Amino acid sequence: MPRKPTPDMQKWCVDEKGQPRINKGAENVCVDESEICFIDGFHSKLYYRGYSIEDLAQHSTFEETAYLLWFGKLPTRNELKEFDQKLRDNRELPEAAYDVIREIPKDTHPMEALRTATSFVGNLDPEKQKLGIEYVPSKAISLTAKLPTIVAALARVKDGKEPVKPRSDLSHASNFLYMLHGEEPSEEWTRSMDLSLVLYAEHEMNASAFSTVVVGSTLSDYYSAIVGGIGALRGPLHGGANEEAVKQFNEIGSLDNVDKWYQENILSGKRRVMGAGHRVYKSYDPRARIFREHAKRFAETSGIPEVKKLYDIAFRLEELVMGQLCETRGICTNVDYWSGIVYYAMNIPIEQYTPIFAIARIAGWTAHLLEYVSRNRIVRPRLYYKGMLDLEYTLVDKRG
Ligand SMILES: CC(C)(COP(=O)(O)OP(=O)(O)OC[C@H]1O[C@@H](n2cnc3c(N)ncnc32)[C@H](O)[C@@H]1OP(=O)(O)O)[C@@H](O)C(=O)NCCC(=O)NCCS
């Protein structure tokens, strides 16, 4: 008689009554202590290293935020200058990386292309044999500096254009826009891009940070850990939601159609609002509030009718979400709801929104890798096995 696993055999996964104790999706599981980020999901608060996201959004740059996340304190002016200079010095890619970028099939999603190019850049690292955690900061500076170059080069090549080489006289955000569009961005665009990188830089133990930490916990190399993060970020339930949100506004098509669309697709339970809902936030995502203000400004001042239309659709859809899903079930609009409209206004192709998220989030991934691996324990959870045991093996020819 085949045996079923007994509660006794499953003791690591059952409670005192012998019932399975499973946190599906690792909900509310704390894998470590941390000093990097705190999300107060009930009071709409987010802190990086103790500083509120509102203060960082108003006063900080991406460069300063990355320093804060990695080294645990705001840099002095000299520390920031030195850190910024290192980033500027590391922007250029080896020629071989451009060759690989040109070889990637044009129908590849930019996140998948980013995954390949990032991995290849790791292969070109002259210090790739050095795996220890003490080598992570210098590798992180190099890769954080290079990701915008990779993303911009991929975007241009996909569009049939030549990559634009990085400039070291521009800020991280400004240089990225310059490489993407081939012309120096305005102050307003630079500030909006920089702000978006600050808002996207970190968010505790989300799926991509966890992927990075899982890979890092095996004492694998830095590039593998970051590629793991990129892979997780690509999905529409995580970073890919910013692209899906704009596609959803486009699909709705007009302000007149929002209520009907919401009724047919969301109230019916057929689909989810992209850019709404969150595992941790049960109130309004504070990053969405900041992005929303910027989207509004672009809608009012850019003079691009399409931006205004998207904003109006998003505004009405958000009213419905907040009045119903948020009110009754804590499903409120999140960071990915509004960010796409800001990027859209800066003439950035929709499929580049998630790669931009990656350009920012490498700061958070690296911070978690440094923190977790500095007191490492390999990540190795269990599953509650509910299959059979001791089945009789039947030879292949005798199977019915
Ligand atoms: C982010 C997300 C994956 C969190 O998932 P989660 O915590 O595991 O929540 P679940 O998938 O278990 O959903 C719980 C319930 O809320 C509903 N729900 C969650 N997000 C929803 C959304 N955006 N629109 C409509 N309903 C939603 C689910 O349908 C489910 O309903 P049910 O209990 O009737 O089956 C989820 O909210 C989602 O898919 N959002 C859309 C994608 C997105 O914006 N991702 C970016 C996150 S920053």
Structure-token pair, residue 385? 């096995």
**Residue 107 confidence (pLDDT):** 96
Please check the confidence at residue 15 and state whether its pLDDT lies above 90: no
How many domains are contained in the chain? Answer: 2
> Which domain does 97 fall in, by range?
37-237+359-374
**Residue 122 confidence (pLDDT):** 98
Report the nearest atom of ligand 1 relative to the CA of 285. 48
Give the position of tokens 């692209």. 243
What digits encode the pLDDT tens for the residues 232-251?
A: 999 999 999 999 999 999 99
Closest Cα to atom 32, ligand 1: which residue?
A: 269
The rounded Å distance from CA 377 to ligand 1 centre is 31
**CB contact burial 193-230 (16+ within 10 A = b; e otherwise):** bbbbbbbbbbbbbbbbbbbbbbbbbeeebbbbbbbbbb
Catalytic pick from 84, 125, 221, 336?
336
> 156 with 108, same domain?
yes
**Residue 18 confidence (pLDDT):** 76
The 3-state DSSP class for residue 168 equals coil
Q: How many residues does the chain have?
A: 400
> 233 with 245, same domain?
no
> 80 with 169, same domain?
yes
In sequence order, what DSSP letters do the residues of 375-393 get, joined into one string?
T-----------S-BSPPP
**Residue 10 confidence (pLDDT):** 77
For a pLDDT cut of 90, what percent of the chain falls above it? 94
> 50 with 187, same domain?
yes
What digits encode the pLDDT tens for the residues 194-216?
A: 999 999 999 999 999 999 999 99
Catalytic pick from 172, 278, 294, 368?
278
With CA atoms as reference, report the closest residue to 309 among 350, 244, 254, 247.
Answer: 254
> 308 with 273, same domain?
yes
In a domain, 289, yes or no: yes
In a domain, 20, yes or no: no
The whole-model pTM stands at: 0.95
The rounded Å distance from CA 198 to ligand 1 centre is 25
The 3-state DSSP class for residue 270 equals coil
Handedness of CA 267, 259, 41, 30 (dihedral sign): positive
> 228 with 280, same domain?
no
**Residue 5 confidence (pLDDT):** 80
In a domain, 63, yes or no: yes
Please check the confidence at residue 9 and state whether its pLDDT lies above 80: no
In a domain, 213, yes or no: yes
In a domain, 31, yes or no: no
Asked if residue 362 lies in contact with residue 144, where contact means CB atoms within 8 angstroms, the answer is yes
Closest Cα to atom 39, ligand 1: which residue?
A: 237
DSSP state of 333: B
What digits encode the pLDDT tens for the residues 130-176?
A: 999 999 999 999 999 999 999 999 999 999 999 999 999 999 999 99
In a domain, 270, yes or no: yes
- Choose which residue among 320, 331, 339 to substitute to test ligand 1 binding: the one with the highest number of ligand atoms within 8 A of its C-beta: 331
> 93 with 69, same domain?
yes
Please check the confidence at residue 230 and state whether its pLDDT lies above 90: yes
> 133 with 275, same domain?
no
The rounded Å distance from CA 29 to ligand 1 centre is 18
278 is catalytic: yes
In a domain, 386, yes or no: no
Closest Cα to atom 19, ligand 1: which residue?
A: 277
Residues in contact with ligand 1 (CB, 6 Å cut-off): 25, 237-238, 241, 266, 272-279, 325, 331, 334-336
> 204 with 96, same domain?
yes
Asked if residue 227 lies in contact with residue 111, where contact means CB atoms within 8 angstroms, the answer is no
* pLDDT band at 265; cut points 50, 70, 90: very high
> 260 with 335, same domain?
yes
* pLDDT band at 17; cut points 50, 70, 90: confident
**Residue 8 confidence (pLDDT):** 77
The CATH number for 214's domain is: 1.10.580.10
Average pLDDT of the residues in 377-396: 95
CA dihedral 277, 283, 288, 292 (to 10 degrees): 110
What digits encode the pLDDT tens for the residues 388-397?
A: 999 999 999 9
> 233 with 251, same domain?
no
The CATH number for 282's domain is: 1.10.230.10
336 is catalytic: yes
Average pLDDT of the residues in 333-343: 96
Please check the confidence at residue 6 and state whether its pLDDT lies above 90: no
The rounded Å distance from CA 217 to ligand 1 centre is 29
**Residue 21 confidence (pLDDT):** 86
* pLDDT band at 62; cut points 50, 70, 90: very high
In a domain, 9, yes or no: no
> 102 with 204, same domain?
yes
